[in-house]
Amino acid sequence: MHVGVAGASGYAGGEVLRWCAGHPDLDVEVVTAERHAGELVSCHAPSLAAAYPSLRFEATTAAAFSGCDVVFLALPHGRSAALAGSIHAAGALVVDLGADLRLRDPDAWLRWYHEPHGAPDQLGMAVYGLVERHREALRTAAMVAVPGCYPTAAILALAPLLDGGLATRERVVVDAVSGASGAGAIPSDSLHFSVLADDVTAYGLLDHRHTAEMEQELACDVLFTPHLVPVDRGLLATCYARAAGGIDTSDALEALHAAYDDEPFVVVTSEPPRPKSVRGTNVAHVTARVDQRTGWLVSLCAIDNLGKGASGQAIQCANVALGLTETAGLAVAGVWP
């Protein structure tokens, strides 16, 4: 398969290149990056030098991807919708790692992104790319909206428990921490080492954009608070919901096992999951507990925010949509220590 990657100089785009380098069926032929057009990939990202010694970034245009079978878009929100439409019209599978195709309601987009959607006619056209929930729809997808990192973890942690009636949808809380790579590669004051180190910062209080995805997929209101922690990659979501009467921890774990034991990239753990355990993989670790004393159910999920939270998941979606082996090119063993 001939592959194009837009926004290939960023963290998520670079990770797509890394995954494709070890993929038996995906050959990267076109990479674009506005700020780095003309530069060698190997100079911008020395970690990819052996895999792509002569590949150069081009300017990002729909025409650049002519002849591609699949195009991964790793662009800031608001940048990919129009491009996705043109690439889709040319016959390529579009896998958008950005936010533009994730929501189905233009009013929800306006509320959470504070601007009108650039191509509202495309909302609802893409399949939401959480394979564990939408695998069958992805098999025939022409456009895929890769979920955000926080929603991926929260939905994996909560969905089987809410769907199975083990918890109510009335009071759902998601508290999560993520590494600095989740903010992208463009520099900002909050990401300077001297600011980030030795600290934990809550941000996006009450209005983080990923809330919309969680509410869309979980069919309930969600109070979400993200935190930035001084690590380069990794994400841990701790999720709370009111437990249904009469259930205990064994019931919650049984529901997670029933949902995920046949899934190649989700592991139900007996101990609290740790982001470092899944570093460099497309794997999610989940567990749950029921607190009989307070009546709360707590479910946790750890992922690599650039793996299952972004680029690894994008490759998984592409594998399914292209009829390839779902696990092709994707790591299941983490980097430790």
Between CA 267 and CA 170 the distance in angstroms is 27
Asked if pLDDT for residue 187 goes beyond 90, the answer is: no
| 283 touches 270 (CB < 8 A) | no
Q: Quote the percentage of the chain above a pLDDT of 90.
A: 91
Residue-wise pLDDT tens digits, 296-332: 999 999 999 999 999 999 999 999 999 999 999 999 9
CA distance 92 to 102: 19
> Which region among 24-33, 67-76, 179-188 has the lowest average model confidence (pLDDT)?
179-188
Catalytic residue among 68, 149, 239, 317: 149
Q: At what angle do helices 210-218 and 149-163 cross, to 10 degrees?
A: 20
Which pLDDT belongs to residue 199?
A: 95
For residue 22, give both structure tokens.
């070890």
Domains defined for the chain, CATH in brackets: 2-125 (3.40.50.720), 149-305 (3.30.360.10)
On the question of pLDDT at 82 being above 80, the answer is yes
Specify the 3-state DSSP secondary structure of 112.
helix
pTM higher than 0.75: yes
Q: In this predicted model, what pLDDT tens digit does every residue of 267-282 receive, in sequence order?
A: 999 999 999 999 999 9
Buried residues in 23-55 as b, exposed as e (16+ CB within 10 A): bebbebebbbbeebeeebbbebbeebeebbeeb
Residue 190 has a pLDDT of 81
pLDDT band at 186 (very low <50, low <70, confident <90, very high): confident
Inter-CA distances, 143 with 9, 88, 242, 297, 302, Å: 22, 7, 36, 35, 27
Active-site residue flag, 317: no
Decide if pLDDT at 183 tops 90.
no
